[in-house]
A and B are shown apart, each in its own frame.
Chain A
Amino acid sequence: AQSVTQPDIRITVSEGASLELRCNYSYGATPYLFWYVQSPGQGLQLLLKYFSGDTQDQGIKGFEAEFKRSQSSFNLRKPSVHWSDAAEYFCAVVDQNYQLIWGAGTKLIIKP
């Protein structure tokens, strides 16, 4: 069965530092992958998606993600975080019924 693992429940990063949020998926075929962000008290918003082709996908707010088939990973990166990036980040993979299988989320805390 398809699954998504986000190994880090919480990550603390200093403002201006680089960020990497990990996501590993389990899916037999070519995966369709998403990263969503949830700010406090808000719904989820799409950050970026991977459908096919390039290994890197550019998203909004300066985020990017690298798809590595050999490692079954789709890690989210940002070169320099801002205080406004404090939120919870969810990775998701699409299953054979086009349903989203969600990771448990990683809460990002920004230190001033």
Chain B
Amino acid sequence: DAGVIQSPRHEVTEMGQEVTLRCKPISGHNSLFWYRQTMMRGLELLIYFNNNVPIDDSGMPEDRFSAKMPNASFSTLKIQPSEPRDSAVYFCASERGREAPNEQFFGPGTRLTVL
């Protein structure tokens, strides 16, 4: 298995531009998580999906952030418009299911820089 795949690995954009981050979870995993990691705030859960349905988006910073999971093998996190304070590493993780505590498998992350 290729593991969780994220693209792009690096993104540099200018303030005000739209940014789309992509994630392909491990096949057969039913839950998907988007995290943001910064030096100041550490690892923050933004949103998670179970069976393609958003369950908890309380961690999404504001309306500029949106996430979708149109099918079991693909999810996007979009920032529109982007701001310099959005600069961070964004991780996607997948998990087998929510019936019991399970290991989350992380992707390599997307390093976003907003100028």
Assess A102 versus B103: contact at CB under 8 Å? Given A43-B108, A44-B91: no
Residues on B with beta carbons closer than 8 Å to the beta carbon of A45 = 106
Residues of B within 8 A of A42 (CB): 108-109
How far is it, in angstroms, between the C-alpha of A25 and the C-alpha of B62 when the chains are bound? 29
Give the number of residues in B that approach A within 8 Å (Cβ atoms): 19
CB distance from B112 to the nearest CB of A (A): 14
User: What chain B residues lie within 8 Å of A94 (beta carbons)?
Assistant: 101
Q: Which of A82-112 contact B (CB under 8 A)?
A: 90, 94, 97-100, 102, 104-105
A34 touches B103 (CB 8 A): yes
Q: How many A-B residue pairs have CB under 8 A?
A: 41
B107 in contact with A43 (CB, 8 Å): yes
A51 to B104, CA, bound (A): 14
Q: How far is the CA of A90 from the CA of B93 in the complex (A)?
A: 15
> B14 contacts which chain A residues (CB < 8 A)?
none
Contact of A43 among B45, B48, B100, B109 (CB under 8 A): B109
B4 within 8 A of A: yes
A63 interface residue, CB < 8 Å from B? no
B91 proximity list for chain A (CB < 8 A) = 43-44
CB 8 Å contact bits of B81-114 with A (1 = contact, 0 = none):
0000000000101000010111111111100000
Binding site for B on A (CB under 8 A): 32, 34, 36, 41-46, 49, 51, 90, 94, 97-100, 102, 104-105
B residues whose Cβ falls under 8 Å from a Cβ of A: 4, 42-43, 45, 48, 56, 91, 93, 98, 100-109
What are 17 A-B pairs at a CB distance below 8 A? A36-B106, A42-B108, A43-B91, A43-B93, A43-B109, A44-B91, A44-B104, A46-B103, A46-B105, A49-B103, A94-B101, A97-B56, A98-B98, A98-B100, A100-B104, A102-B42, A105-B42
